Amino acid sequence: MEVKIFTIGFAGKTAEQFFTLLTQAGVKQLIDIRENRGGQLSGFAKYPDLEFILDKITGILYSYDTRFVPSADIRKAYRKTKDWSLYEPSFLQLMRERGIPQSLGPDEFSGSFALLCSEPGPEKCHRRLVADILAEHLRAQGHAVHVRHLESPRRETPKRKKVRHPHA
């Protein structure tokens, strides 16, 4: 079976960009892996609004999976140090302690789904790590797995043209 794993962050995106990326990719389910899904800074991605919007506008199923949420201690340490080389092994150790991926059911993840977090890009976000764990797990079961990180196209700053005044 073919499985498509997408990741997406809401920060730095408009609602139009966010929902367009999901629908154009053919995402069928959005799995929220944020600890604070109802935070005031979440804007259009705040729960329960996000679930409502996904259902009514896009038809994408919403779910919340706390197994992939980083611990408060790991997040706190990262906010303090901003050292990804410490965060990543700590998060991967937490996943092992939670029995991830061994505890995952064989048919639990299929089709086309996206992992949601807040970071604009996947480079320093746990959603990338979770996508890698799931991809490896599913490939070991014989699935063809594709991982893609959904990001808005980078806008180039328009160059200002020099305006010549006719009387100068």
Residue 88, domain CATH: 3.40.1010
> Is there a domain that residue 154 lies in?
no
Q: Looking at the predicted structure, is the pLDDT value of residue 7 above 80?
A: yes
Predicted pLDDT at 86: 97
Tokens representing residue 12 in the block: 């730095």
* Total domains present in the chain: 1
Predicted pLDDT at 161: 53
Q: How many CB atoms lie within 10 A of CB 54?
A: 19
Tokens representing residue 11 in the block: 């920060």
Task: Give me the domain span that covers residue 95.
Answer: 2-149
> Is there a domain that residue 124 lies in?
yes
> Is there a domain that residue 42 lies in?
yes
Q: 123-168, pLDDT tens digit by residue?
A: 999 999 999 999 999 999 999 999 999 998 765 444 555 555 555 5
> Is there a domain that residue 167 lies in?
no
Q: What is the pTM of this model?
A: 0.90
> Is there a domain that residue 106 lies in?
yes
Bridge partners (DSSP) listed for residue 113: 5, 29
Bridge partners (DSSP) listed for residue 112: 4
Q: 58-90, pLDDT tens digit by residue?
A: 999 999 999 999 999 999 999 999 999 999 999
> Is there a domain that residue 159 lies in?
no
> Is there a domain that residue 165 lies in?
no
